[in-house]
């Protein structure tokens, strides 16, 4: 996930407030009918702020604004509903942060392999884990420089992941699997071993 622009919604969800009752807490509201309360912090120390609004009636949103993580909710939600939505949105934020850090580690490894193993000048514009790619271990869009790696590889030996990264990085220079491509990928010394491992995994999936 890429970091959203300041103030842009990261998540929005519908909420049924037809049965909600105002909890009766004393709040200091501005002239716009909006109240703000600091309720905690994210893993990285970012303040979590609840913003209640009388104008917001049917959605809950979360976004970054001026260095704070804002959860915007309808003013009519109860304290219990507020706590539940804060928990839901902060958990989503934590998951997204962990995923972003994981993608960054993957991208750094790809950069290192391109530089030290393939020794090519081409670099990917993005390298990311994907959860919807089970029939292919990796994919590369040469026109955009984007590389996607199946998350199935996350639990496999490191040299297997490296081999798939090398394979996809080679596509940044060579579109087809011709002789020039094969010469590139064979620069990775454990390529044949890794491909044999993945063939075994594929066979097990088909016959297991």
Task: Give 10-residue mean pLDDT values along the chain (208 residues).
Answer: 47 48 39 74 84 89 88 91 90 77 89 96 94 91 95 94 97 96 97 96 87
Tens digits of per-residue pLDDT, 93-126? Answer: 877 777 777 789 999 999 999 999 999 999 999 9
The 10 Å Cβ neighbour count of residue 18 is 8
CA distance 52 to 196: 57
Tens digits of per-residue pLDDT, 48-70? Answer: 999 999 888 889 998 888 888 89
CA distance 150 to 198: 12
The 10 Å Cβ neighbour count of residue 34 is 16
Provide the CATH topology of domain 120-207: Zincin-like (3.30.2010)
Rounded to the nearest angstrom, the gap between the alpha carbon of residue 194 and the centroid of all alpha carbons in its chain is 27
Report residue 189 as tokens. Answer: 């010394």
User: So what's the pLDDT on residue 32?
Assistant: 59
Report residue 174 as tokens. Answer: 């060579």
State whether residue 145 is helix, strand or coil.
Answer: coil
Q: For the chain, what are the domain ranges?
A: 9-98, 120-207
CA distance 85 to 40: 13
Closest Cα partner for 82 from 30, 40, 28?
40
Question: Which secondary-structure segment (H or E) carries 51?
Answer: strand 47-53
Report residue 91 as tokens. Answer: 């958990």
Closest Cα partner for 51 from 38, 42, 40?
38
Residues belonging to the chain: 208
CA distance 100 to 128: 9
């Amino acid at each position: 996930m890429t970091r959203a622009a300041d103030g842009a919604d990261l998540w929005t969800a519908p909420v049924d407030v037809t049965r909600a009752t105002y909890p009766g807490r004393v709040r200091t509201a501005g002239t716009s009918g909006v109240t703000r309360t600091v309720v905690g912090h994210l893993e990285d120390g970012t303040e979590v702020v609840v913003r209640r609004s009388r104008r917001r009636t049917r959605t809950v949103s979360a976004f970054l604004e001026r260095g704070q993580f804002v959860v915007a909710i309808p003013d009519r939600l109860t304290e219990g509903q507020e706590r539940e939505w804060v928990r839901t949105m902060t958990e989503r934020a934590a998951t997204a942060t962990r995923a972003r850090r994981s993608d960054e580690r993957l991208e750094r490894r790809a950069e290192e392999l391109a530089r030290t193993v393939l020794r090519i000048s081409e670099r990917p514009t993005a390298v990311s884990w994907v959860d919807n790619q089970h029939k292919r271990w990796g994919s590369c869009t040469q026109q955009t420089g984007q590389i996607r790696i199946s998350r199935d590889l996350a639990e496999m030996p490191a040299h297997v992941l490296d081999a798939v990264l090398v394979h996809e990085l080679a596509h940044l220079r060579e579109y087809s699997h011709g002789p020039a491509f094969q010469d590139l990928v064979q620069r990775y010394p454990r390529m044949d071993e890794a491909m044999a491992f993945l063939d075994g995994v594929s066979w097990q999936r088909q016959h297991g």
